[in-house]
Structure 1
Amino acid sequence: MVMIKACLNGNRRPGEHPALPLTPLQLAEAAREVHEAGAAAVHIHPRDEAGRESLSAVHIGAAVGAVRRAVPGLPVGVSTGLWITGGDVRTRTEAVRGWDSLSTDERPDFASVNLSEPGFPHLWKDLQRLGVEVEAGVWSVADAEALAGAGLECVRVLVEIIGGDARTAVPRAHAVLHRLDDLAVPGPRLLHGEHAPAWVLVDEAGRLGLSTRIGLEDVLQGPDGEPVDGNAHLVRLARARPALGG
């Protein structure tokens, strides 16, 4: 069965969807619901008290710890997107190194690192020193080549098709996947898209036997444009897709 990771909130603004989870308790409840719906892992963007994305240890620890208490054993991952620190590499580095103060239960199992962002090799090594596994965020052929050149090990390669036309999403994804294979980049692949390509690439991942992800970070509607109740509804819709064995 294809592994589905649920991406619960992303960088969406408060109010973009009525069920968008922002607080630790909301993230914990959403994680419990998606796990019951069939998700094998969750990816979250912890927030501060004002609802803004944060890499601060206090906010990372509160969100991860709440999810762990609600769903023991469910792998929990976070973003390290550079936009979270306003594009400041040094601020991101200091924030992530601050996770050293977190207990094991408060540290994420994995964190995504975007190959298109400056400073990724040092961030990668900092995460590994913390015992946090790295998901490599590969958005393009150039990112695939950067990953191969870096020679860094990751728990999985996220082939992420961000925006664009759904009609070109599959060729774009295959160009990245083929380049990863040509360069013999190790690690399992997870294929997903954001916005228009999201459902097209859930189906393509199923056809290819690759892991995928779905959630309010990636899309706010079902495969036919229908409204959804929240993250668990999206996971159930994904599980029901014929390409995923539904």
Structure 2
Amino acid sequence: MWLKACLNGGRAPGEHPALPLTPDELAADARAVAGQGASAVHAHPRDAAGRESLDAADIGAAVAAIRAAVPMLPTGVSTGLWITGGDVHARLRAVRRWASLPDAERPDFASCNLSEPGFQELALTLLDAGIGVEAGVWSPADADALAASGLAGRVVRVLVEIIDVPAAEAVTEAGRVLDRLDALGVVAGRLLHGEGPATWPLLEEATRRGLPGRVGLEDVLCGPSGEPVTGNAELVRLALGLSSRG
């Protein structure tokens, strides 16, 4: 299974004892998850105060640290609109500065959510900077928006993200989104994942469908039976164990 490790997300310090925040902590976790078989990592870099940041200096520091620790591991970041307090223009100005980062500090890809305003201009800005776009599709309506954008053929992959859906309904909702992408003729590769209690059922569904998946402290703080975990490396090990049993 192609598995991405989502190392920290927007979680606050202290939500888990092993939550990585600084560039050095992200680099150590990237090395650890790669050692367990992760195929890529996704991180939310922080500023000096520990807040999520899209500032080029903060992005570059985190990416450079991960690259130094695991040179061949594909590394991505978030462009979540909440990071700029919902300010679409501030987000775009910040991301435009990523083009000036040296290769060692520029992410391989960045996630862009169709549910947030400004997707098209943001995606084109990333593509112009040589950064791949992961299109975050949370619903059939997002799938429609991706198809209408004209960019479906240029994204690295579609992130089918089942958000704020009860675990018992998550697999059904994932099927609705995946079916809509098929109906629209979107041929880009898909990655399927959820969050909280839906994380593990959707990892099993990704395995069943032969799709890439995602796991990490951004999405879940416990194992498939609700057991405590030591951190991202254990989550990756558990997820790939599901895959091997499938």
Structure 1 length as normaliser, TM-score? Answer: 0.98
| Aligned counterparts, 1:182-221, within 5 A | 182-221=183-222
Task: Tell me if 1:38 matches 2:37.
Answer: yes
Residue 75 of structure 2 aligns with which residue?
A: 76
Task: After superposition, give the CA deviation of every residue in 1:129-175 in whole Å (9 maximum; x if it has no partner).
Answer: 10000000000010000001112020000000013210000000000
- The sequence identity of aligned pairs, in percent, is 64
Q: How many residues align?
A: 243
Pairs within 5 Å for 1:43-192: 43-152=42-151, 153-192=154-193
Whole-angstrom CA distance in 2 between matches of 1:150 and 1:164: 26
How far, CA to CA, are the matches of 2:215 and 2:76 in structure 1? 14
Give the Cα–Cα distance (whole angstroms) in 2 for the partners of residues 197 and 117 of structure 1.
22
Query: Equivalents in 1 of 2:49, 2:137: separation in Å?
Result: 30
Q: State the SS of the aligned residue for 1:245.
A: helix
> How far is the alpha carbon of 1:8 from its aligned partner?
0.1
Ranges of 4+ aligned residues in structure 1 off by more than 2 Å: none
Q: 1:140 corresponds to which letter in structure 2?
A: S
Q: Is the 8 A contact 1:30 1:232 kept in 2?
A: yes
User: Structure 1 CA distance, aligned partners of 2:4 and 2:80?
Assistant: 18
Cα-to-partner distance string for 1:67-94 (whole Å, 9 max, x where unaligned): 0000011000000000000000010011
Q: Give the Cα separation in 2 of the matches to 1:101 and 1:142.
A: 34
The two structures, once aligned, show a CA RMSD in angstroms of 0.6
Check conservation: 1:162, 1:195, Cα contact below 8 A.
no
The reply to whether residue 231 of structure 1 matches residue 213 of structure 2 is no
Matched residue type, 1:107: R
**Following the alignment from structure 2 to structure 1, what is the Cα–Cα distance between the partners of residues 176 and 60?**
37
Deviates more, 1:92-101 or 1:205-214: 92-101
Structure 2 gaps of 5+ residues are none
Greater shift, 74-83 or 96-105, is seen at: 96-105
User: SS where residue 240 of structure 1 aligns?
Assistant: helix
Letter in 1 for 2:103: T
What is the letter of the counterpart of residue 200 of structure 1? P
Name the SS of the counterpart of 2:135 in structure 1: strand
* Distance in 2 of aligned mates of 1:179 and 1:239: 28
Contact 1:55 1:92 in 2 (8 A): yes
Q: Give the CA deviation at 1:100.
A: 2.1
Tell me, in whole angstroms, the C-alpha distance in 2 between the residues paired with 1:163 and 1:43: 20
Distance 2:120 2:173 in 1: 25
Q: Which amino acid aligns with 1:204?
A: E
Match of 2:4 in 1: 5
* Equivalent residue letter for 2:172: P
Match of 1:240 in 2: 241
Instruction: Report what 2:23 is aligned to.
Output: 24
Give the whole-Å Cα distance in 1 for the aligned partners of 2:110 and 2:103: 15
8 Å contact kept, 1:22–1:51? yes
Structure-2 separation of matches of 1:231 and 1:104: 26
Secondary structure, counterpart of 1:223 in structure 2: coil
Tell me how far 1:196 sits from its aligned partner: 1.5
SS of corresponding position for 1:202: helix
